[in-house]
Amino acid sequence: MRFLSQDWADAVQAACNDDPTFREAAAPHTITIQQVIAGPDGDTHYWTRLADGRLALGLGDIAGPDATIRQSYETAAGLARREVNAATAFMLGKIKVEGNLGQLMALQGVFGKLADAMGTLDVDY
């Protein structure tokens, strides 16, 4: 499946929600995040919402996100393939955050489990 497609979004959501370690890590958190990925053919927008230990993920924009994360396609794909460290990318300005940075920082364990779940998928980048 193609990275950042609806099939990809559906597969990531299912992989996370089927993974008990992801659900356990996500359980104490409630947050809505807007993602904006700058690519060669324009920006791709998608959103994630954590609530009750479950992930919802969809393409497009969501009203009233707690945070918005902006990055290039190359950075997003590198993160998904686990070739890029998120903290390093943020410090180098490759990831830009608007909104509640503290709430995002509290999600490091969840993001690690998200990456684990994404690693099980066959994705074309």
Query: What is the CATH classification number for the domain harbouring 94?
Result: 3.30.1050.10
Q: How many CA atoms lie within 13 A of 26 on its CB side?
A: 27
In a domain, 123, yes or no: no
**Residue entry with tokens 């994705």:** 123
In a domain, 40, yes or no: yes
User: Do 92 and 4 meet the contact criterion of CB atoms below 8 Å apart?
Assistant: no
Joined together, the tokens standing for residue 96 give 């830009």
pLDDT over 90 at 22, yes or no: yes
- What local confidence, expressed as pLDDT, does residue 119 receive? 87
> Which residue range forms the structural domain that includes residue 26?
6-113
Q: What is the pLDDT of residues 59-113, one digit of tens each?
A: 999 999 999 999 999 999 999 999 999 999 999 999 999 999 999 999 999 999 9
Distance CA 56, CA 43 (A): 21
In a domain, 12, yes or no: yes
pLDDT over 90 at 56, yes or no: yes
- What local confidence, expressed as pLDDT, does residue 40 receive? 86
- What local confidence, expressed as pLDDT, does residue 26 receive? 97
Mean pLDDT of 18-27: 96
pLDDT over 90 at 25, yes or no: yes
CA distances to 30, 48, 56, 80 from 34, in Å: 14, 7, 12, 16
In a domain, 120, yes or no: no
